Amino acid sequence: MPKLPDLRRSSVPRWRDVPPQHGRRFVVTGASSGIGLEVSRALAGAGAEVVLAVRDRAKGERVAAGLPGRVEVQVLDVSDLSSVRAFADGVGRVDVLVNNAGILGVPFARTADGLETTLATNHLGHFALTNLLLARLADRVVVTGSRSHLHGELDVDDLGWERRTYRPYAAYAASKLANLLFLAELQRRLTAAGSTLRATGAHPGSTATAITASSGNGLLTWVGSWGHRLAGMQPWQGALPTLYAATMDVPGNTYVGPSGPGEMQGWPTTARRAPAALDPDLARRLWERSEELTRVRFPL
């Protein structure tokens, strides 16, 4: 399989054209806005059948009406394991699962399953969904990371912030580190099982989306929103790393991000990972704890 070109060299062409996807079926979580919407738009425009996996069906239907091609809406709240199971039971055949949904900077809360909300939404729900669908996937899983994982500290023995003082952005960074550990361990397990499936990952750099809208802090939401609008990429460009990871012939455990300074803006190329994201023991322990919390196990 080819490696990504080094797009930090100015002579390398900038990738932006999704290859034809006719006959392929994608599930995109968090598809009603931001990166998820732009990923869905591009995939549908390339001929794919796209399932918009969204919490709000009415909003999803409004979004779907404005997209090209074959698009359907199904309800999924990745923070609710009963919703994850119901979605997995009813979604049918899938070629590519794009785990995109996420939250950032929210106040401390617990889900209906008693899990800390940020980790439940950004990691545990997608962990469960992936493993529930794995036996029916034809191609790959795409995991969404973030530059914030570089600052993440993951305490596997206190994933619910029961012994530590909860800090919203520390919780987000930890959940993003969990995403990359999940990516690496999933690919390790797929390879060990002799599976041809692959796990890839991507992050959007700084992109003008509404991810800070649910922070509960008006100032934080305003600063985050306007900061991304002023300094970040438009959502269509921020979606390109995810689209590359979802459609191009790259090896498993490839991680894609923007090519510019600090991976804030630019075009898809290989992204940097923190040393902790490459720790196989930490990845294994997180996987085992995730199985305990979700009661979902690797099926292959």
| CATH (domain of 174) | 3.40.50.720
Rounded-to-integer distance, Cα 201 and Cα 195, Å? 18
Q: Is residue 198 part of a domain?
A: yes
Inform me whether the pLDDT recorded for 250 exceeds 80: yes
For residue 14, name the pLDDT band (cuts at 50, 70, 90).
confident
Of 166, 169, 172, 255, which is the active-site residue? Answer: 172
**CA angle, residues 71, 29, 134, in degrees to nearest 5:** 100
What is the tally of structural domains in the chain?
A: 1
Q: Is residue 9 part of a domain?
A: no
Which of 4-13, 79-88, 264-273 bottoms out in mean pLDDT, i.e. has the lowest?
4-13
Q: Is residue 180 part of a domain?
A: yes
Show the domain range for 137: 25-294
Quick one: average pLDDT of 187-206? 97
Q: Is residue 159 part of a domain?
A: yes
Q: Is residue 8 part of a domain?
A: no
Inform me whether the pLDDT recorded for 86 exceeds 50: yes
Residue with tokens 């930490």: 282
pLDDT of residue 4: 59
Q: Is residue 11 part of a domain?
A: no
For residue 55, name the pLDDT band (cuts at 50, 70, 90).
very high
**How far is CA 76 from its chain centroid?**
14
Known active-site residue 169: no
**Exposed (0-12), middle (13-18) or buried (19+): which is 166, by Cβ within 10 Å?**
middle
Q: Is residue 15 part of a domain?
A: no
Rounded-to-integer distance, Cα 180 and Cα 165, Å? 24
Quick one: average pLDDT of 246-274? 95
Inform me whether the pLDDT recorded for 227 exceeds 80: no
Return the percentage of the chain with pLDDT > 90, whole number. 84
Contact at 8 Å (CB) between 44 and 50?
yes
Nearest to 104 by CA among 89, 121, 87: 121
What backbone phi and psi angles, to 5 degrees, belong to 219? -65, -45
Inform me whether the pLDDT recorded for 231 exceeds 70: no
Burial 124-148 (b: 16+ CB within 10 A, else e): bbbbbbbbbbbeebebbbbbbbbbb
Q: Is residue 7 part of a domain?
A: no
Q: pTM higher than 0.85 for the full model?
A: yes
Inform me whether the pLDDT recorded for 230 exceeds 70: no
